[in-house]
């Protein structure tokens, strides 16, 4: 491996002698010998199994819940409903002062997506828990549901989540996150060509080989040890402490070993209810998603729609860009308002465009709540932007790589969201890509620099 530090404006002087040298991973010996302890490898005597009764409807009012038959089922130790949860509100990002408090741990009065947790059953065996869960009777009044973001934003659409009062997240900037830079309409008016395209994506499931879950054991000293595969240990500690109204000093989380996460294990879902079960029964509790739950219940990457309108000159300069982005949060916020906000900052792409207008909406629908996944908020946007770049290059008959050189941001350029570009190295990266991919570009592009103006 070759390390070239010269790509960057502030060339590093320190000696990076570790780069390019193989070093054994510290966790590999455990992996290859089967000794690595994943959370489900913990087993405690008397451990109970938790199974969740889930909503079969996309949107419904809960008229009544009857757990009497389930409680009588052999092996059942405890059945939990909303009234058993001390503070029945799940707010993942409360630790960093981002709400909203729009989701319950166990459904209270209403369900807003198919699969929403309603009743938790704790039993001696997984089978008993499963059988008893099937005996819980929930009387639902089915309500109209909405699954499409643009439908959800229309007047008269079914209201997904009363907390918000409308089917979008209200930012401090209003109904969407906004970026305004230059005069986009003047940019379009002066452009040689206009190209407007829309791009859409479906939800994507992380599908880790190890499903989401935790094992909790009550310790003798009134504390609880929770072995978990969360990717967000401190969000989990903080939220569990709030939900259970229990000081953090009573909670001991053991984790860090995750059998594939990819963002799918960032939501705090299984731990609070499992710890509550352990508290109320005094027994160890195991709550592991089945493969079906992992695919249907755990939050996927949000579905997105991106509408991009660009004004471009025959010489290759993009002079105006207007983007409307929609992020499908599903029924609850989880991390989606943050994802939609990231998109707003990102949509100009790594290009310097003098006139930019961006609106990004975080929309609520009666779908599985979406959340974090590898670069959420920008990944689908990048797909849309780069396809758009290729289409623009084709429109003006220009090589797509040369077209990107013309528009690439360089150090000192002001980005649309008012951050000056620093340490870009995009030109240098594309020059290297041109060589590596044997995709030659004109000499003037190979002579360009991210750091020297006019070259």
Partner 1 sequence: MAKVPVQFTLNGSEKAEFVDSGTTLLHALRDKIGDTSPKGGCHQGTCGACSVIIDGELRLSCLTLAETCDGAVISTTSGLSDSGVLHPLQRAFLDTFATQCGFCTPGMIMAAKVLLDHTPNPSRDEVVEALSGNICRCTGYEPIIQAVLTAARSNSQNAA
Q: Which residues bind partner 1 (CB under 8 A)?
A: 22, 24-25, 27-38, 40-41, 43, 206-211, 257-262, 290-291
C-beta closer to partner 1: residue 38 or 383: 38
Residues 308-328 as b/e (b if ≥16 CB within 10 A, e otherwise) read bbbbbeeebbbbbbbbbbbbb
Phi, psi (5° rounding) for residue 30? -65, -40
Contact 368, 300 (CB under 8 A): yes
Whose Cβ is closer to partner 1: residue 294's or residue 310's?
Answer: 294
Q: Which is nearer to partner 1, 36 or 434 (CB)?
A: 36
Q: How far is the CB of 144 from partner 1 (least distance, A)?
A: 35
Provide, rounded to whole angstroms, the least separation between the CB of residue 29 and partner 1.
Answer: 7
Min dist CB 184 to partner 1, Å, is 40
- Nearest alpha carbon to residue 302 among 266, 328, 277, 340: 328
Complex with partner 1: residue 41 or 66, whichever CB lies closer: 41
Task: Tell me if 53 sits within 8 A of 140, measured CB to CB.
Answer: no
CB of 120 to partner 1, least distance (A): 20
Of 33 and 419, CB closest to partner 1:
33
CA atoms of 391 and 394, how far apart (whole Å)? 5
d(CA 120, CA 269): 12
Least CB distance from residue 133 to partner 1, whole Å?
A: 17
What residues have CB less than 8 Å from 320, skipping those under 6 apart?
182, 184, 185, 186, 187, 188, 191, 309, 310, 311, 353, 354, 355, 356
Residue 320 tokens read as 């105006």
Looking at the Cβ atoms of 9 and 207, the one nearer to partner 1 is 207
CA 455, CA 155: separation in Å to the nearest integer? 52
Please say which residue, 296 or 449, places its beta carbon nearer to partner 1: 296
CB of residue 261 vs partner 1: minimum separation in angstroms? 8
Least CB distance from residue 38 to partner 1, whole Å? 7
Helix axes 336-346, 379-395, angle to 10 degrees: 30
Structure-block tokens of residue 388: 């758009």
Give the 3-state secondary structure of residue 425: coil
Q: Which is nearer to partner 1, 6 or 209 (CB)?
A: 209
CA distance 349 to 408: 9
Helix, strand, coil percent content, the chain, rounded in steps of 5: 30, 25, 50
Min dist CB 211 to partner 1, Å, is 7
Identity of the residue, 26 or 245, whose beta carbon is nearer to partner 1 in the bound complex: 26
Nearest distance in Å: CB 24, partner 1: 7
Neighbour order of strands in the sheet with 177-181: 177-181, 356-364, 318-330, 304-312, 193-201
Least separation in angstroms between CB 73 and partner 1: 15
Whose Cβ is closer to partner 1: residue 63's or residue 291's?
291
Residues whose CB is less than 8 angstroms from the CB of residue 165 and which lie 6 or more positions away in sequence, other chains included: 159
Q: Confirm if 387 and 381 have CB atoms less than 8 A apart.
A: no
Omega into 100 within 30° of 0, i.e. cis? yes
């Amino acid at each position: 491996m070759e390390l070239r530090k010269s790509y960057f404006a502030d060339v590093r002087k320190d000696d990076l002698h570790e780069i390019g040298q193989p070093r054994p991973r510290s966790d590999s010996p455990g992996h290859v010998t089967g000794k690595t302890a994943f959370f489900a490898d913990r087993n405690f005597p008397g451990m109970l199994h938790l199974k969740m009764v889930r909503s079969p409807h996309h949107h419904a009012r809960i008229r009544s819940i009857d757990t009497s038959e389930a409680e009588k089922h052999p092996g059942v130790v405890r059945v939990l409903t909303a009234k058993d949860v001390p503070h029945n509100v799940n707010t993942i990002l409360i630790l960093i002062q981002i709400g909203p408090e729009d989701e319950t741990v166990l459904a209270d009065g209403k369900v807003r997506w198919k699969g929403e947790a309603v009743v938790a059953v704790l039993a001696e065996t997984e089978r008993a828990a499963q059988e008893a869960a099937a005996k819980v009777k929930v009387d639902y009044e089915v309500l109209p549901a909405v699954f499409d973001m643009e439908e959800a934003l229309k007047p008269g659409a079914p209201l997904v989540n009363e907390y918000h009062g409308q089917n979008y997240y209200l930012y401090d900037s209003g109904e969407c996150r906004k970026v305004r830079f230059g005069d986009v309409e003047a940019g379009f008016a002066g452009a040689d060509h206009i190209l407007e395209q829309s791009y859409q994506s479906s939800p994507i499931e992380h599908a880790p080989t190890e499903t989401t879950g935790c094992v909790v054991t009550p310790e003798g000293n009134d504390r609880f040890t929770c072995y978990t595969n969360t990717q967000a240990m401190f969000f989990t500690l903080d939220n569990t402490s709030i939900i259970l109204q229990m000081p953090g000093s009573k909670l001991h989380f053991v984790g860090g070993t995750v059998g594939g996460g990819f963002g799918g294990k960032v939501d705090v879902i299984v731990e609070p209810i499992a710890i509550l079960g352990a508290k109320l029964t005094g027994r160890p509790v195991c709550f592991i998603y089945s493969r079906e739950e992992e695919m249907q219940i755990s939050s996927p990457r949000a579905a997105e729609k991106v509408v991009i309108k660009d004004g471009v000159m025959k010489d290759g300069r993009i002079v105006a860009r207007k983007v409307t982005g929609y992020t499908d949060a599903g029924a609850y916020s989880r991390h989606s308002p943050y994802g939609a906000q990231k998109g707003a900052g990102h949509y100009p792409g790594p290009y310097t465009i003098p006139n930019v207008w961006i609106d990004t909406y975080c929309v609520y629908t009666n779908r599985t709540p979406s959340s974090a996944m590898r670069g959420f908020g920008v990944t689908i946007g990048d797909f849309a932007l780069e396809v758009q770049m290729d289409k623009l290059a084709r429109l003006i008959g220009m090589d797509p790589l040369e077209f990107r050189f013309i528009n690439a941001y360089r150090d000192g350029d002001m980005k649309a969201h008012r951050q000056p570009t620093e340490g870009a190295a995009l030109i240098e990266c594309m020059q290297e890509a041109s060589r590596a991919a044997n995709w030659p570009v004109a000499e003037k592009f190979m002579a360009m620099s991210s750091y020297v103006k006019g070259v």
